[in-house]
Amino acid sequence: MALPYRWQVRLDQLRNSLRSIFGGGDEQPRPKLCPACGALVGVSATRCHECGTSLRFSLAAITKNLPVFSGMTNPVSTTLLGLSFFLFAIQLMFTIQAGEAGGFNILWHMNDPASIKLGAVYPYPIFLDHQWWRVITAMFLHGGLIHIGFNMMALMQFGPAVEELYGSPRFLFLYTFTGAVGFLLSALRGHYSLGASGALLGIMGAILAITTKRGGAYMKDLRSRLISSLVFLFAIGLFGFLRIDNWAHGGGLAAGFVLGKIFVDREPMNNSEKFRAQVLGWIAGLTIVASFVLMILHFRDYAS
């Protein structure tokens, strides 16, 4: 049975993307751009004549030709959004199976044993069983429809702008690192925690840092609005509403502010900056993949 035309086109694009990682690409040979410096190189060239980057196998070549980066303006923000909803669907399935999804429960509650199996942060498995990967997996889990709804709206509001500013690799590192720092601090305080908000506060921390490095009325106004919103959020957490974890939020915010001070607030320009950014992005991406592999391997460690 023949595939629909649009799916055949997508499969052809995917096949060409995978080929081009190793120097293949489209069947018709044509000049190409160096993935590192953007210089025009010959059809049969295997290394850029300007910067020396391998056109067949290098971090720049692999990153540029990953299928997830093809045709997307903000690939990391979009992928994080999709992965969070995918994990929420799995949580919901377990919650329904446990008989806890009746009425309005799913608005603010997911089955806790299932969430722990799927990688939520909890001090005992982290510090006694050394399951450090939980500080990564927990940021893709949520405690109900309201929780994931607010977090994903915040991700799509702030994520694309910061991703365009820093570039996708550095943005992925920012999100992953700040979320992990927030959950580590939360676990040290003995909390059960999950959600993307620690990483989202990391994004806001980076934006706050940017406003301190740039002058002008707009930056001052933005900084004032951010600080007001953050004070309100932490005040809600102090009163114990909605199970807000101020320690995870505070850790993510502080880590994001530090990275915002360190990162140059523009996309990488020269080859060395691009290489460092790609290394950070690959570290973050591989850490996420490894964390989910470990979650699957340890899924049955804790009985319901």
Could you list the active site residues? 197, 249
Any long-range contacts for 150-158 (C-beta under 8 Å, 24+ apart)? 151/84, 151/195, 151/196, 151/197, 151/200, 152/81, 152/84, 152/85, 152/196, 154/197, 154/200, 155/77, 155/80, 155/81, 155/84, 155/196, 155/200, 156/77, 156/81, 158/200, 158/203, 158/204, 158/207
Helix axis angle for 168-188 and 271-297, nearest 10°, is 50
| Alpha helices for the chain (secondary structure H) | 5-21, 59-64, 75-97, 112-117, 123, 134-137, 145-166, 168-188, 197-213, 217-238, 246-262, 271-297
